[in-house]
Amino acid sequence: MGVLICSMVALALICQSHSLGAKDPLHRFKRYQESSYSDPNECSKTRPALILANPNNFSLDIRMPSVIPTASESYLCVAVPVPTGRESYVVDFVPHATMDTAHHMLLYGCREPFSATGYWDCGGNQGTCEDEAKIIYAWARNAPPTKLPRDVGFKVGGDSRITYFVLQIHYGDIAAFQDHHRDCSGLTLRMTSKPQPFVAGMYLMMSVDTVIPPGKKVTNADIACTYRSYPMYAFAFRTHTHRLGQVVSGYRVRDGKWTLIGRQSPQLPQAFYPASSPVEVRYADKLAARCVFTGEGKSSATYIGGTSDDEMCNFYIMYYMDRRHAVPYMNCMESGDSELFQGIPKEANMPVPISPDMAAMMHGHAHHMGAKSSPMSHSEDSGLLQPKREEEEVLDQGFHLAEVEDWPEVQLTLGQVSGLALDSDDNLVIFHRGDHRWGVSSFDSRFEYQQRSLGPIQQSTILLVDPAKGTVLKASGRNMFYLPHGITTDKDNNYWVTDVALHQVFKLGSDGSDKPQVVLGRPFEPGSDTSHFCQPTDVAVDPLTGNVYVSDGYCNARILKFSPEGKYLAHWGAGSADRRKRVQFRIPHSLAFLPDRREVCVADRENGRIQCFLADTGEFVKEIKKAEFGDEVFAVSYAPDHGGLIYAVNGAPPYGQSAPRGFVINYSTKELLDSFSPDTQEFKMPHDIVVTGDGSVFVGDAATDAVIKFVSDEKAEHRSVKKGGIEVQEIEETETFVQTQLKPLLKGAIQSAPAAAPAVPAAPAAAAAAAPHLQHQVAASHKTPPPTPLKEEGTAKAKPEGGARRDAEGVSPALVTTLLLIPLVVVIAIGVFIRWRKTRMYGDDCEVKLEPGSSGGILGKLRGKAGGGLNLGNFFASHKGYSRKGFDRLSTEGSDQEKDDEEATDSENEEYSAPPPPPPVPSSSS
């Protein structure tokens, strides 16, 4: 029997190890989480090359395969095939490298790499690609991850002519390899097969003939070209020089006016920083860039070249274009005309101040910081905190919102919950989509609704609900709406609602009549003038004047103001004439009116912030932006209690690093007072939030088709104790046993319970969720000997030692053997099943092998060496003053900005949004 058991154990381990598919990059692993700045030299760690997050989203790991550079200024390359033949999109770049090891990394896309197996020396006579190489990504100086805006991606596979990725790493100084350790630097690409409305591209501006005289304090390198293509929208930029670069700036020049795209010190982490606002570049515009160098301390002239002792002047523009005529790569290498540059703003020659955070990143500490603390992030605006008003009450330090687990007491049949509101009696109003869903095929590229044939929603889309029990008091809104979104009430309890499919706003009477009293916008006609909307999101009503405020929305990025009768009064945001215009809205998604302050606050979703404005004039008042919000704020609500409280919910971060949450913020000080989430379920897409007069909070979740109620933990505990006491009486005669799956209603209750808390008797789920101190009460009521103390969740009840011994004596060897064999059989069955599934899904020959291969020399090229390609080594060798000794290994680089995982962005329960370009080009989603 022992031999049999050992044999089966060995067989189980072999099957399990094989099923893990350590050598198979296409195995369906559960997605792992890895720090963006984890040790790149940890080559012993086995990493799956491809990780599938869900059917549409996946991650591709591209690393150097345990290389040891043998000479300084080495350029090594490795090629990895695009993992799918159909078109897919790169939406996120996560670097795994440090500046102590790698001078820079470049990622190219092409059809024919120089080598499809192993790695090679791409710094001699050979290049990166046999055909045209397109730069997709660049990194240097501990730059943080780069994340693209929603609905934007670099297109690969399909008809893109990109079937391979080629990673090039420049190892500047091999002193870092004196201990002969191996390097596995590289990056992770996060990708989606969902078609993106906008295709990202790279525009490289590069000086080719600048000479920096020794000792000269200031030398300018100017580059300028006339743009000759379809409109593009520059949303991010990156600067690159070597040690002598002081500042690099890039501009669009139109009709003599210089518009800044970006300006940064190249000595900071060389990330892709967001443009101050998306800059539209049209045919015949000029693009201009200037690099400022200093030759002080140098004894000889410095030329443009690829080694660390040479210099470079690069300004990268990351842009997006409409997918119908997107160009993935463009460049400009023409010296700027001196007459043109007479008009360049003086800022182009002013140094960029370096903050302590940026300095820390520059000195290699960026790997201790999350992407949110990169120079791009701003946790607060720069305004001084307002003093606390004397009449302002302060919430108790122990205040916390907890879920009411048994609400609603009756089942609510809901579709996607898009909006919540309250009437004058604090009854809850729910706006939902019935059997209609907002999905990827709901709209075309012009934001026109594509599912009109379904007809309007036949279910009642507006439900008036008792906030205490959840029972429906009144239902209306049948056969009226196609895709509901926002809802609010006025002082007469009329409903004001938006429909993103109809592109309209409606006022409905409080009597439940389905005939609108006011209609704004034209049905199914998106537009950006004062009589059209484009996917309007929410409405707020001034209770004093009756004026109506509309957030518009997914396409137009503005707020409009109307009279109670629907007459247009004003607007601000995109397209307005406000000279003090701040950063443009990126999907103003939710509105809240502050009656005691006469302000309107907006959840600016994709900018991850809340902004407040004077209701009468639209004048900016304040911004609330917290690191805890992450990248998205979906909804905002307001309560005048305690001097003014802001309630908000955020969205799920990309690839599910953490769950979304709700927040309570002090309006005056912007202090974060509380964050909360459900205990019995998860927020998937919390879409709207309201707070009642007694402090109860309701959150509507569009992904789970649910409304969740929260109350302060003090109220929740009182309710739980009362309910638990009733149920204890009902089960007094029930047999006592140890409940191993006990889940407390209040967060932290188990932690605060005494170590030897007695177990509760069998009871319905609600009783099991009662506060821990109830356990003592229950145990006492049974007058039974105290049971064994609770262990951690999932552990079995321990028997008294003597009883255990007596049980063991009566167990036969055959039974013991059987019990040992059962788990082994289960493990073997699972391993065989996983292997069979993997073979069925992917086949057995799908490995991506990254084995060290032959090296040879190869001239680094920006655009390959095939016919028509631009070999920069040969090109620059013919230019006067060019230093051949290094530029043959072209040095270019970059990183930082954002997309979602299937549940967060690609499921049919999810909202799709495009980055809002400057008017008139719109954006999209739910």
Work out the burial of residue 455: count CB atoms within 10 Å of its CB; fewer than 13 is exposed, 13-18 middle, 19 or more buried: exposed
User: Measured between alpha carbons, how far is 97 from 141 in angstroms, rounded to an integer?
Assistant: 9
Which candidate in 96, 242, 400, 571 is catalytic?
A: 242
- Strands (E) located in 341-404: 401-403
Rounded (to 5) percent helix, strand, coil in the chain: 15, 30, 50
Contact 573, 551 (CB under 8 A): no
Catalytic residue status for 312? yes
Catalytic residue status for 168? yes
Catalytic residue status for 240? yes
Which candidate in 27, 96, 104, 436 is catalytic?
A: 104
DSSP state letter for 668: T
Cis peptide before 654 (omega within 30 of 0): no
Tokens standing for residue 338: 């001196």
Which candidate in 126, 168, 246, 267 is catalytic?
A: 168
Contact 482, 449 (CB under 8 A): yes
Which candidate in 170, 571, 642, 782 is catalytic?
A: 170
Helix (H) and strand (E) counts in the chain: 10, 46
Catalytic residue status for 485? no
Which candidate in 240, 436, 503, 687 is catalytic?
A: 240
User: Measured between alpha carbons, how far is 213 from 293 in angstroms, rounded to an integer?
Assistant: 10
| Strand 74-81, strand 134-140: pairing | unpaired
Tokens standing for residue 674: 């509380």
| HEC secondary structure over 15-76 | HHHHHCCCCCCCCCCCCCCCCCCCCCCCCCCCCCCEEECCCCEEEEEEECCCECCCCCCEEE
User: Measured between alpha carbons, how far is 4 from 824 in angstroms, rounded to an integer?
Assistant: 11
Which of 286, 901, 407, 426 has its CA nearest to residue 679? 407
Residue 847: phi, psi to the nearest 5?
-75, 145
Catalytic residue status for 232? no
Which candidate in 103, 436, 503, 589 is catalytic?
A: 103
Tokens standing for residue 309: 């002792």
DSSP state letter for 549: E
Catalytic residue status for 773? no
User: Measured between alpha carbons, how far is 355 from 295 in angstroms, rounded to an integer?
Assistant: 25
Which of 556, 691, 555 has its CA nearest to residue 635? 691
First to last CA, the chain: 63
Which are the catalytic amino acids? 103-104, 168, 170, 240, 242, 312
